[in-house]
Amino acid sequence: MSEQSPAVARYGHGSRIPGWDDSVDLGKDPAPVPDPATTPVPPQLREQIEAAMAKYPNFRSAAIPALHAAQDLHGWCSPEAIEQVACVMRLTPGYLTAVATFYDMFETEPVGRHRVYVCTNISCSLRGGPELLAAVQQAAGEDPDFNVRGFECLGACDIAPMASVNGEFVGPLELADAEQLVADLREGREVLPEKQLSRRACADPGAKAQAHE
Amino acid sequence: MSDKLLFDRIDEPGLDTIEVYMRRGGYESLKRALRMTPEEVLQNLLDSGLRGRGGAGFAMGKKVSFLPRGAMDKYLVCNADESEPGTFKDRELMQKSPHMLVEGMIIAAYAAGANRSFIYIRGEYELQAMKLEAAIHEAREAGFLGEDILGSGHSQTLVLHRGAGAYICGEETGLLDSLEGKRGNPRLKPPFPANQGLYQGPTLINNVETLATVPHIIKMGGTEYAKLGVDNSAGTKLISISGNVQRPGNYEIELGMKSRDIVYGLAGGPEPGREIKFWFPGGSSSPVLTPEDLELPYDFDSMAKAGSMLGSGAIIVVDDSNSVVDVALTLAKFYRHESCGKCTPCREGTNWTVKMLQRIHEGDATPMDLDIIASVQDQIMGNCLCVLGDAMAMPLSSMVAKFRGEFEQYIEEKRAAAGFGEMPEPSPIAIAGAA
Amino acid sequence: MPRPERRFVTFSIDGREVSAPEGVMLVDGAKYGDVEIPVFCYEPKLGAPVGACRMCLVEVEGIPKLQTACSTPVKDGMVVHTQTDRVREAQNSVIEFLLVNHPLDCPVCDKGGECPLQDITFGWGRGISRMVEPKRHFKKPLELSPLIAIDRERCILCYRCVRFSQEVSEDYQLVLNERGASTYVGTFDGHPYVAPFSGNIIELCPVGALTSRAYRFRARPWDIEGAGSVCTHCPAQCNVEFTVRDERVLRVLARDNEGVDDGWLCDKGRFAYQAIHSEERITEPLVRDSESGELVPATWEYALDVAAAALQAGGSKTAALAGGTTTNEEGFLLQRVVREALKSPHVDSRAGLPQVDLGLQQALAAPGLQATIPDLEFAHTVLVLGTDPIDDVASLDLRIRKGVRRNGVKLAVATSRPSALDPNAKLWLRYAPGGEHAFVAALEAAVTGSGDLSALCDAADADPKALEALAALLKDGGEDVVILWSQRLGAAPLPALLNVAAALRLEGRDGAGLIEVPVGGNGRGLREAGVQSNGGPGLSAPKAPGKPAREIAAALASGDLSTLWLLHADPVRDYADRRLWERAAANADALVAHATLLNDTLREHATVVFPAESYAEKEGTIVNLDGRVQRLRVAIGRPGAVRAEWQVIADLSKRLGLDLGVLTGPMATRQLVEAVPFYAGLTLKEIGGRGVRWQEREAASAAPAAPAGPVESGEPLPAPRPNGALRLGTYRPIWAAPEVEVSPALKFLAAKQQAELSPVDAERLGVDNGAKVSVTAGDATVLAKVFVRGNVPAGTVFLAEATAEQSATELLGEAPQLVSVEPYGQRPPVPLEGLARGARPSDDEVNS
């Protein structure tokens, strides 16, 4: 038998999935809906959440917008952030944890403030997505300011391989762009301006030909 | 008159503002629609033969007509959770011409009698969300949204709702749960959204492109629109081409165009010296087709007849530099990651499939495992709560069936490389199970 | 709200013609044709089906895809197949998928032998596994709470437990985290899943993923027997099945009774069985030794002689109190002995609450005015008045939530303390503790449109607009109104309550009426059996009226009464005015008690303590809060020298010169039935396993006729004005009970004293959440931890009653009162002027 690839841990004990191996802390109290009297919420966050709740026929619909707002403020969906949302929305923190862990964009562990999602799905992988991810990860190194993640299809296969950098789509990227991308972020510059999707014209020549009447 | 409808001068600067959009005749269709009765608008939609552009290809007018009539809270939801790998057409449309979608939604809501509408846009589309938010604001300021729009008696609100990263929210009932602030688990059907959807009210759910087409149908008239395209596949369609082609991107075509003309003509085909190995005609969930199938016309029925589907109109081309096993593994991993976990066959089936493919990848498999993989796909298909399980099982089945030789060769090579040498005797259990 | 009517439809399943009620799901419909369709996630008690496990796929002709039988309602003419190759293939597939990551550690699994996954795998599985990949392994078992262990390897993600938490108990603490194959059952940030009904998830789990930490590895299914009985820990009297091994109760399971508990148990009902086998259980008679002054074990004969002599000496100066698990029969025999042999009129079972005029009692208990528990689920409007079901009658909390959630019942909550049901209520109202009478009178005024609403609201410190809204809801929200009211309201508000019921025309209306929440597990039955100072068996007038409990205490303390006889009652702990009761017990010449556990009062003052049966050892009847006569059945043998209580009372009686004529338990039942006209003809057989509501029997017409016409609702006294001090409100937490304290599993929940304060008052007093404070009334002080709650009305502090220590009953006098709250340990508590116990505010204060 040859060496085992680390991809499938054989007969190993322990989980690769966060949470599975965790017991509860019996020293803690149960977590019902937080009492406003004892849960301080930053006024600005409260305002954002209440505004979101007002937009929907059922206030619960504001769960995702509220978590977005809390994550923007706290950097991640920390227990504190979740308690604050729960307090304003009158939901249990458990409910919001369930929601937050379902969606890829919510971070349930502390992360760096620079969000770099590198697409590794099919169209990007055909053009070097996984290699690009490795390159960006290497360029960012151990820098705690960075949150570099492989991501499923981001809907920009026309610029494959690509990445979403703090929400800005850039591509097609070459491995050499990884260093530049990281440097731009570190220096606070616009990231790879010439490769931003927002500046890209439609591929359809027909659409272009008609651009002026 | 351009042969483009949705992409007509799409790159015109400022088209995302109401000023330019209206200068180009925007919101005229809305005005015209509001002068008609909702039934007349619906008739136009029925006449147009427009089929849903999101993936399922259900006739849009019919879907509208399923909503119960009468005064009650009804909802229109635009599915802008464009997440099917290979699909990126709605992104370009929303970013560059957001008002087209807004106008289409107001007309569709008028036809359906819906007073509350939502756009559920995937969380990753941040730029597009900003553009839409601005467009909605402008439309409201201009009196196209709100109470008693243009004196028609029709009132409508439109809320942009950002998701947070989950493929399953593109499934219409998963989307509804997510929009209600829950985990995006698909719901049991029936009841169908037309009867009990968002907040348990009748709900019409349509894709971005479908709704953006509505103003054009009203402008041309339903029967005129139906003349575009081919039988049973009326109109123009935005297609996204990606993968191993020279000019990936979005193109607007008339349905029925020859597939080869799209892949080679528009997208330039693979890099010189490369051959196409297979292609997905409708996103990663569609069973793969071979180069021979490029002779088929690109429309709903032809793709279905070939054993695949038009889906979201996303063509992914894979050339001969890639191994089918690697593509299968990437695909399976994606579906495992995106399975919501609610129903057993999808949750466990995707997970097990990935494990088997990984074993192949590591050289720890035999060709018999291919039978188990195929059998597992059969066990997933048709047994799941929603279509996500099938979305993995269909293309994977097609890959194993059409490229079995390559799979077997890959297994042999990897086994040899991993030092397994001779193939073991077949296990009676595996045989019994695969039977 | 009329309940849905059911008609039958005929469909075909596996070639058989089957008739089943229209609208039921195929899974249930198939049972009418003796066809079993396997399920994991389907559990109708949890609400709408989710179709997640896919185990129940069947073929329905005319539908191309296989359908989930759990979500497909049966229709006329439907043709269903459950045995075709296609269906079998699908079933095999689902089993194979479920076992992909299931560890199959059945030999060491607590669920083994009673596991649906085992059974269904055996019945519908392929019998082989093609999965050669390693299974996932995780640490196990892990703690989910002190009561529940979780084994995530075994979990098949059927959603039952989280649906229970989210859609039944609505505590929303137990959730699914992550997604897809990574999904797991968990909580927020490692907080334990501790909630009053958490134990139900153990019973719901179809695999061994959720197990009871109290039951784990105590027995295998073939070691145990099930014994059906009734839980006596609260007046809901949920139906239970004891799991018995070697004469020990090892577990309590729900025994679904739609008319009582709807299939759920609270954690007290589920785990407090441990008190039965507590080390502290009294298992032999104890008699106070005259030399050492200690209680020492004695023979039955000696103990009976001593007790009889003491009671004989007390004679007409004897008072008897019954409570707890006392059955109707025991209560009935007790009052006979006291009234007939001792010639004393002083018997009571009302937990020290004020005596209610017998005519009023009869009127409130009129059969036509009684609603049933299921009515809570189908009424147009439910008013919860003066009680928080979660503490007073736990399983009704779930029933009320269900009505609101499933049937759109409009719920109104009117209490002084914020209620757990507030978030579900269409309307919630607060009144000041002490303002109960004024509040109900105000409600009467609002409903009838007569009387001075604003003055009454002022007296109750309630919002007149809210009262008007409540009146409108009750009057115009549909005719079926159920009012769930607590005995703890006291006597004064009851005429007004009766007038409200009359104004809403609840009498005689099916699906509407009143439900009283009595204090004590068999509070209603004991009153019907005649254990009250002003009422004999069947709510008849006694020959001579006796003193109610509070007066008994005063008389014992002053020497007017000499002897106290306690049947499962602990007045020092449970009744108001603890210090008066302490004096009463200390001053009594003799104290005879029947108890399962010793307490300080008995230890110090009891003359004789008879070892009492636990509820699992008893036979007899009890009555739940809507009048359902239920049967306690012997599940296990009595430990040690414990004897049947009816027998002990009969033996005592014989020594006192009265032969009760009772030789067996059923003979006691027969005597009771003969003495209570509205039970006439009732037999144990008729009561059976499900109980019988006596109001639904013919004999109900023999219920005493209530005086006709409107009653005078009286002039309510205003609730005290805080004027710088705080009003004291009290409640009895579900966890304030000795059986909780002696059950090892539940001990961690035992109620500790906490002072619930509004943020305003906390700030004014300069105390933080969690700080220690002293709460003082007159010269009595209770120490408590501050619990700041946003929804506590300013001006009131809430304390728990009946806690093991620092009980609020220390502070409770005869009248509502004011207390002062001080940070503890900083300065000595200084009693405020005019805040002596029971002091009424002056007229100036009231009118200011």
Residue of B nearest to A163 (CA): B124
Tokens of B375: 């059998």
Domain with CATH 1.20.1440.230 in chain B: 324-434
Q: How far is CA A176 from the centre of its chain?
A: 24
Chain B contacts of A68, Cβ < 8 Å?
123, 162, 164
Chain C contacts of A96, Cβ < 8 Å?
188
Chain B contacts of C97, Cβ < 8 Å?
344-345, 347-349, 352, 379
Chain A contacts of B4, Cβ < 8 Å?
204, 206-207, 210
Chain B contacts of C71, Cβ < 8 Å?
188
Q: How far is B372 from chain C (nearest CA, A)?
A: 8
Report residue C10: phi and psi, to 5°.
-115, 130
Closest CB from B351, B359, B382 relative to C181: B351
Residue of A nearest to C194 (CA): A30
Closest CB from A82, A90, A94 relative to C173: A94
Q: How far is A61 from chain B (nearest CA, A)?
A: 4
Tokens of A97: 């944890």
Q: Between chains, do A64 and B181 touch, taking CB under 8 Å as contact? A: yes
Chain C contacts of A26, Cβ < 8 Å?
143, 145-146, 192
Q: Between chains, do A31 and C146 touch, taking CB under 8 Å as contact? A: no
- Chain A residue set in contact with C, beta carbons under 8 Å: 8-15, 17-26, 28-33, 35-38, 79, 82, 90-98, 101-102
| d(C-alpha B120, C-alpha C671), whole Å | 71
Which chains form contacts with chain C, at 3 or more CB pairs under 8 Å? A, B
| d(C-alpha C19, C-alpha C460), whole Å | 57
Q: How far is CA B334 from the centre of its chain?
A: 16
Cα–Cα nearest to C111, from C212, C39, C236, C185? C212
Show the domains of chain A with their CATH numbers: 43-102 (1.10.10), 114-199 (3.40.30.10)
Domain with CATH 3.10.20.600 in chain B: 233-319
Show the domains of chain C with their CATH numbers: 8-98 (3.10.20.740), 134-276 (3.30.70.20), 286-353+525-688 (3.40.50.740), 360-517 (3.40.228.10), 726-847 (2.40.40.20)
Which chains form contacts with chain B, at 3 or more CB pairs under 8 Å? A, C
Domain with CATH 3.40.50.11540 in chain B: 18-227
Q: Between chains, do A204 and B82 touch, taking CB under 8 Å as contact? A: no
| d(C-alpha C319, C-alpha C649), whole Å | 15
DSSP states along C658-675: ------SHHHHHHHHHHH
Q: Which residues of chain B, if any, have pLDDT below 70?
A: 1-2, 421-435
| d(C-alpha C495, C-alpha C451), whole Å | 14
Whole-number pLDDT of residue C594? 98
Residue of A nearest to C761 (CA): A37
Q: Residue C476: is it exposed, middle or buried by C-beta count within 10 angstroms (0-12/13-18/19+)?
A: exposed
Whole-number pLDDT of residue B37? 96
Tokens of A211: 């651009």
Give kind and range of the element (H or E) at residue A193: none
Cβ within 8 Å of residue C500, ≥6 positions away? C440, C443, C444, C447, C474, C483
C500, HSE (Cβ side, Cα atoms, 13 Å):
32
Closest CB from C49, C53, C71 relative to B344: C53
Tokens of C321: 């109190």
- Average pLDDT across each block of 10 residues of chain A; the chain has 213 residues. List them in order: 40 55 91 95 98 97 98 97 98 97 96 96 96 97 96 96 97 96 96 95 79 42
| d(C-alpha B310, C-alpha B297), whole Å | 11
| pLDDT, tens digit, 9 for 90 and up, residues C145-161 | 999 999 999 999 999 99
Residue C638: how many CB atoms within 10 A of its CB? 18
| pLDDT, tens digit, 9 for 90 and up, residues C719-736 | 988 888 999 999 999 999
Q: How do beta strands B297-298 and B257-258 pair?
A: antiparallel
Q: Please state which architecture CATH assigns to domain B18-227.
A: 3-Layer(aba) Sandwich (3.40)
Chain A contacts of C146, Cβ < 8 Å?
26
| d(C-alpha C806, C-alpha C783), whole Å | 6
Whole-number pLDDT of residue B426? 56
Chain A contacts of B15, Cβ < 8 Å?
none
Closest CB from A122, A154, A203 relative to B284: A122
| d(C-alpha A155, C-alpha B125), whole Å | 8
Q: Tell which CATH classification among 3.10.20.600, 3.30.565.40, 3.30.830.10, 3.40.50.720 matches the domain B233-319.
A: 3.10.20.600
Interface contact C184, partner B, CB < 8 A: no
Residue of A nearest to B14 (CA): A211
Mutate to test the interface with C, among B347, B373, B388, B429 (most CBs of C within 10 A): B347
Chain C contacts of A60, Cβ < 8 Å?
none
* Rg of chain A in Å (alpha carbons): 21
Whole-number pLDDT of residue B231? 87
Q: How far is A3 from chain C (nearest CA, A)?
A: 16
Q: Which residues of chain C, if any, have pLDDT below 50?
A: 829-848
Q: Between chains, do A94 and C133 touch, taking CB under 8 Å as contact? A: no
| Residue A122 near residue B316, CB atoms below 8 Å | yes
Whole-number pLDDT of residue A109? 93
Q: Tell which CATH classification among 1.10.3470.10, 3.40.50.10860, 1.20.1440.230, 3.30.360.10 matches the domain B324-434.
A: 1.20.1440.230
Q: Is this model's pTM higher than 0.90 or not?
A: yes
